[in-house]
Amino acid sequence: MSEGKITVWCLLGRKAGDNTQVLALARELGFGYIEKTIVARPWELLTHLGLHATLAGIERANSSPLDAPWPDLVISAGRRNEPVARWIKQQSGGRTRLVHIGRPWAPLSTWDLVVTTPQYFLPQQDNILHNTLPLHRMPAVELASAAERLRPQIVDLPRPWIVVLMGGDSGRFVMTAEKGARLGALANDLATVAGGALLVTDSPRTPSLAGDALQAQLMAPHFCYRWGDAGDNPYRGLLALADAFVVTGESMSMLGEAAAMGVPLFIFDVGDGDARWWSLAHSYRYKPLSHRLAMRFGPRRMRRDIGNIQSALVGGGRAAWLEPATILPADAVLQASDAAIPAARGATDDELQRAAQAVRQLVLQFGAVQ
């Protein structure tokens, strides 16, 4: 049985964090892979209610071709790609193996392997692999290249360089203008005390008013990239050059990637604490309210709490909460940052290796290669 004959399809959707995890696992496998971009219809949620294997929820004309020969392995993440993965397996006569990252909607027995994290409440069973952080793969050569492209734009800014990664609305978390202003003020104080500069980027999920409110608070030296600005997205360059991070706590992908860099990490709390449901309904959009109701009354395995990942990072000493009294000693930070470069930046994550090994065993065990 030759591993070189294994065909891998990666189902990619609109969420960058999901795509990052899918591609990280595919690259770590070393079999080679084919990217299949899936464009979901606006009403795709309806296709999940019956839990069918179907392409009814996607725009086939705008998605990548899905034709035979069928792959030996499909890697997916996110609700929108689940029916597609199951349809592919159906077309292959059941030969295709399915690996899903995160928390699937379909019954767990549907999947040959689920790779999950603590934010979900999945059980301990043979076809579920529990990791502590999302999968990611940041090759040293890619980080170095991104750093060199970005460096000329920030070289005159004082160090330490404190990178601020700003997310946005996600589940029960809502990024308001008030929160953006608070994040900007806290990050500005941190840079001022440290005598350094802020390197800021937002994301496609960041409401423009929240991004504007953050930017208005920046009095310390800074570089600011807003989503949609001209030029290359500096995200990977920021990861490579950071002496410390401030990350909004709703994004497990950004938290995981920042934690892997081996420099100080501060988490900004985007939550609304114990706010009553009626205050959410009055002040914000329906999504945080519907999320709270789903988490309160839905099946346990369909619930999600990214606070589990935040707690693990803080409890394990890999992060701290960003608070008004936070002080960043510049000399110690610079020493820690310089020491972290060869060890953490571009290093292969142990959990990624473990996940890849589990997938290899799955493919070879079930004889996906004829």
Give the per-residue pLDDT at 38: 96
Q: Determine the Cα–Cα distance for residues 175 and 211; give it in Å rounded to an integer.
A: 9
For each successive 10 residues of the chain (370 residues), what is the average pLDDT?
A: 75 90 94 96 72 85 96 94 95 96 92 92 93 83 92 96 92 86 96 95 93 97 92 92 94 88 91 52 48 51 70 86 79 59 47 94 70
Full set of structural domains in the chain with CATH = 3-136+350-365 (3.40.50), 140-344 (3.40.50)
CA angle in degrees (0–180, nearest 5) for 151-157-162:
85
Give the per-residue pLDDT at 348: 42
Residue 295 has φ and ψ, to the nearest 5°, of -70, -30
Give the per-residue pLDDT at 300: 57
* Angstrom distances, CA of residue 324 to CA of 182, 188, 193, 269: 10, 11, 12, 12
Give the per-residue pLDDT at 341: 45
* Angstrom distances, CA of residue 159 to CA of 87, 148, 242: 52, 17, 10
Give the per-residue pLDDT at 256: 87
Give the per-residue pLDDT at 345: 40
**Which two structure tokens, joined as six digits, stand for 209?**
């008013």
The candidate with the shortest Cα–Cα distance to 135, out of 113, 150, 106, is: 113
Q: Determine the Cα–Cα distance for residues 368 and 370; give it in Å rounded to an integer.
A: 6
Give the per-residue pLDDT at 313: 87
| Contact (Cβ atoms closer than 8 angstroms) between residue 237 and residue 149 | yes
User: By three-state DSSP, how is residue 224 classified?
Assistant: strand
Note the pTM of the prediction, 2 decimals: 0.74
Q: Using N-to-C axis directions, what is the helix angle for 16-29 and 350-365, rounded to 10°?
A: 70
User: By three-state DSSP, how is residue 295 classified?
Assistant: helix
| Contact (Cβ atoms closer than 8 angstroms) between residue 127 and residue 115 | no
Give the per-residue pLDDT at 301: 58
